[in-house]
């Protein structure tokens, strides 16, 4: 809040809204280490309090190592969109071309990960990445976007519901040695 005075010495409060530009770019192999860093940082911040250290360490070392991310970034049918704000990496979304057996379509794309760095949560990065994902799906002539989300990640579930996603199934997700339950959600586009 900034305060300004006029010649009669009355005080007016003026709200200033800061806007920032978000740049979305398609990731290349050279971005794999950055994606691994964002993945480890955001996954740990979101899930460490709900899982054992051993399970977290095992999952992070297997799923978010540079070699694994290089393989994913370079694989056919995979698209990583990185979001930058004022030149700083703010988050990313990982899209995988493919459907799920429980869906009634072959023209689907999966949101495998949608991660916003902790300092950018609540600032619209996730929304921009979701909108970019929907636009990409439409450009690819897909009629469905789907994803898996941990059943206890209520913040993420609420986020997806706001976009119109609906639950269509469930599956097991292994975090370290712990078997957890994910909701599968879809959005027809």
Q: What residues are labeled active site?
A: 160
Which residue's structure tokens are 């959005």? Answer: 187
Q: Hey, what are 128's tokens?
A: 């921009």
Helix or strand run (H / E) with residue 120: none
Which residue's structure tokens are 């879809």? Answer: 186
Q: Hey, what are 173's tokens?
A: 């997700």
d(CA 189, CA 182): 22
Q: Hey, what are 153's tokens?
A: 């990640």
Strands (DSSP E) contained in the chain are: 2-5, 11-14, 22-26, 78-85, 88-97, 108-116, 144-150, 166-175, 178-188
């Amino acid at each position: 809040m900034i305060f300004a005075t006029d010649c009669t010495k009355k005080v007016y409060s003026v709200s200033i809204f800061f806007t920032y530009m978000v740049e979305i770019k398609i990731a290349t192999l050279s971005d794999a280490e950055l994606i691994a860093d964002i993945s480890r940082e955001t996954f740990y911040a979101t899930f460490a309090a709900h899982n054992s250290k051993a399970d977290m360490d095992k999952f992070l070392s297997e799923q978010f190592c540079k070699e694994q991310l290089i393989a994913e970034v370079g694989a056919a049918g995979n698209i990583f969109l990185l979001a930058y704000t004022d030149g700083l990496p703010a988050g990313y979304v990982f899209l995988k071309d493919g459907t799920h057996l429980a869906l009634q379509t072959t023209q689907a794309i999966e949101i495998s990960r949608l991660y916003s760095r902790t300092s950018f949560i609540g600032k619209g990065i996730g929304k921009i990445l979701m909108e970019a994902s929907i636009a990409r799906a439409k450009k690819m002539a897909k009629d469905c976007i789907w994803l898996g989300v941990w059943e206890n990640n209520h913040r993420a579930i609420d986020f997806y519901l706001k976009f119109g996603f609906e639950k269509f199934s469930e599956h097991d997700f292994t975090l370290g040695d712990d078997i957890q339950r994910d909701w599968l959600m879809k959005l027809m586009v």
